[in-house]
Homo-oligomer: A and B are copies of this chain.
Amino acid sequence: MTIGFIGLGLMGGSFAKAIRLVHPEYTITACDKNQAVLEDAVLDGTVNTAYPPSQVDDMLPLCDLIFICLYPAAVAPFILEHEKSFKSGAVITDIAGVKQNLVKELESFNRKDVDIVLGHPMAGSEREGYTHARADIFKGRNYIFIPLPSSKQESLHMLKSLAADIGFTRIIETTAKIHDHKIAFTSQLCHVIASALVESAEDTEITAFGGGSFEDLTRIAMINAPLWTELFIENKEDLLHHIEVFEKSLNHFKKSIIEDDSTTLMRSLEKVRTRRIDMARLK
Contact = CB atoms under 8 A, between A and B. Distances in A.
Contacts of A179: 209
B272 A198 contact: yes
Given A266-B226, A276-B221, A209 B142 contact: yes
Interface in A217-263: 217-226, 228-230, 232-233, 236, 239-240, 242-243, 245-250, 252-254, 257-258, 260, 262
B275 A198 contact: yes
A222 B277 contact: yes
Nearest to A281: B204
A241 to B, nearest CB: 10
Q: How many copies does the complex hold?
A: 2
Contacts of A268: 195, 199
A210 interface: yes
Nearest to A228: B269
Contacts of A190: 197, 213-214, 216-217
A278 interface: yes
Nearest to A172: B208
B269 A207 contact: no
B275 A204 contact: yes
A198 B124 CA distance: 22
11 contacts: A141-B212, A170-B208, A172-B208, A186-B214, A195-B269, A196-B250, A199-B275, A225-B270, A229-B262, A233-B257, A236-B260
